[in-house]
Amino acid sequence: KAGVTQTPRYLIKTRGQQVTLSCSPISGHRSVSWYQQTPGQGLQFLFEYFSETQRNKGNFPGRFSGRQFSNSRSEMNVSTLELGDSALYLCASSLGTGGFGNQPQHFGDGTRLSIL
Amino acid sequence: AQSVTQLDSHVSVSEGTPVLLRCNYSSSYSPSLFWYVQHPNKGLQLLLKYTSAATLVKGINGFEAEFKKSETSFHLTKPSAHMSDAAEYFCVVSALSTGNQFYFGTGTSLTVIP
């Protein structure tokens, strides 16, 4: 079974630009979560999508947005990039139904975003 | 509210000696607890999970963890460290009552000395 796939693996942007990151979950998984990982702040939850609807949201500004398609693939968009957005962005998928809290999340290898 | 405290930011052990990575949690309700490992420039890999079944949980690569409700702890152990165990380890708590969000600890960096 293929794992979680994130594209691209590396991205370099400049301040003010916008970026779109992509995540393909494990087949059959309907929940996709996004995380930002930085050395200073650690792993922070951005949002979670389930059946094309945002179900949970972390404490990030509105510049960070996402969506999920009918095939459960998800994209994350960051507009008006700032230097502080440089981070490893991780996507994780899970079944997302029933006792979701009991279900582990399966992570992709991440997209490393660098802002110049 | 959910939270996780990893008591050591860095642990060093010699190859072949036991590993202990400590984690305390705070949860208003019955939590699910997980340990993940992250190797450089990689995503997180699940080591093991606790979901209110047996309190001693066995995971991959010889790791195990014991859920102790009275101590609100979920420490990760391994009898004998291997060089390939060198990585960052994260303790995670989640609960159905709080929207199933994952709350991560700040991580423990494990160094294995040959």
Q: CB–CB of A107 and B99 under 8 A?
A: no
At A108 the pLDDT is 95
Percent residues over pLDDT 70 in chain A:
94
At A100 the pLDDT is 47
Q: Which long-range contacts (CB under 8 A, 24 or more apart) does B56-62 make?
A: B59/B35, B61/B85
Using CA of residue B89, residue A103, residue B50, residue B93, what is the dihedral sign? positive
Both tokens of B23, joined, read 């984690």
Q: Give the H/E segment covering residue A78.
A: strand A74-78
Q: How confident is the model at residue A99 (pLDDT cuts 50, 70, 90)?
A: very low
CA B69 to chain centre: 15
At A105 the pLDDT is 86
**C-alpha to C-alpha distance for A52 and A58, rounded to whole angstroms:** 17
**C-alpha to C-alpha distance for B48 and B37, rounded to whole angstroms:** 10
Question: Which residues fall within 8 angstroms of residue B53, CB to CB, at 6 or more apart?
Answer: none
**Chain A residues within an 8 Å CB radius of B99:** 55-56
pLDDT at residue A63 greater than cutoff 60: yes
Tens digit of each residue's pLDDT (9 = 90 or more) over B2-60: 789 999 999 999 999 999 999 999 876 778 899 999 998 888 999 999 877 788 999 99
Q: How confident is the model at residue A114 (pLDDT cuts 50, 70, 90)?
A: very high
**C-alpha to C-alpha distance for B71 and B32, rounded to whole angstroms:** 15
Q: Which residues of A53-65 are buried (b: 16+ CB within 10 A; e: fewer)?
A: eebbeeebeeebb
Interface check A33 vs B, CB under 8 A: yes
CA distance B56 to chain A (A): 16
Q: CB–CB of B32 and A102 under 8 A?
A: yes
DSSP for residue A26: P
At B97 the pLDDT is 64
Q: CB–CB of B99 and A99 under 8 A?
A: no
Nearest 10 degrees: Cα torsion B96, B32, B30, B27: -90
Residue B54 or residue A16, greater confidence: A16
